[in-house]
Amino acid sequence: MGNQKEERVGIMSQVEAVPIKELRVSPFNVRKRVGELDDLKSSIKSIGLLQPIVVRDVKGKLEVVIGQRRFLACKALNWDTIPAVRRELSDREALVLSLTENVQMDSLDPIDRAEGTEKLIKDLEKEMPRTKAVDIAATTLGKGSSTIYDWLRLLETTEAVKRMVQEKRMEIEIGARLASLPKQQQTEVARVIQEESLPRSQAAKVIEYVGRQPKLPAREAIKTFLRETEEYSVTVSLPGSLYRALSEFAQARKLTVQEIIRRAIRKFLAS
């Protein structure tokens, strides 16, 4: 207990009043979209700054590593100084600290988070293969590798899709799936998914279906899929051996078992 108390005192003793005019935002700060600061300014004006920012010295210049919004809010309030803790950090350490802090607080724009994660992975790739770099980034951020890949796929989508994700009009998982489509289709498919208010599972199937119909306009392919799904919606109980055989047959033709069944029904009805 005594050591913990001494450690806390040591941390607090590092806090100093740093002149705001001497500070600049670190290029390794992952938050690129600051958002509005009115509520934060009101809070700081009312009760003060509850937590110091973290800065580092780079060739005699101080950079804000953690606390960019607090720094900008205090600057807007015309403060002369701001409570800060100095840390000796390499470029990578500054990036990891900024990214980890924001991911843990879940306060980061999804695209900023993806771009920051990609920046970390690129840096790690100087020393290792990309797959291992992704795994290390996932461990560092306390996330699964599949989650990290979803974040990165968002960077392969159109600006319109990114905006939908940023504005929480589209789930990250669906935005990531849209990256599998050519960019000229992504925005149209995203808009139809929104118009139809499709749940995640059905939206995922729609994206997969459009990807298998490259010659059809996106909207037409989706309407066809939704019409067929509604018209031939059936529940079928199959023995395990038959289902496995159908699965292999469907995979060989890049289809789903449900589509194989629907096609069989259509053929039967047409005979």
Q: What is the pLDDT of residue 10?
A: 40
Q: What is the pLDDT of residue 271?
A: 58
Q: Which ranges of 51-196 does DSSP label H, i.e. alpha helix?
A: 68-76, 91-105, 110-124, 130-141, 145-154, 159-166, 172-178, 183-195
Six token digits for residue 207? 């994206």
One-letter amino acid of 244: R
Q: What is the mean pLDDT of each run of 10 residues along the chain (271 residues)?
A: 40 77 92 85 92 92 93 94 94 93 83 94 95 95 94 96 93 94 92 86 89 83 76 57 78 75 67 58
Cβ neighbours of 100 (radius 10 Å): 17
Six token digits for residue 72? 């900008």
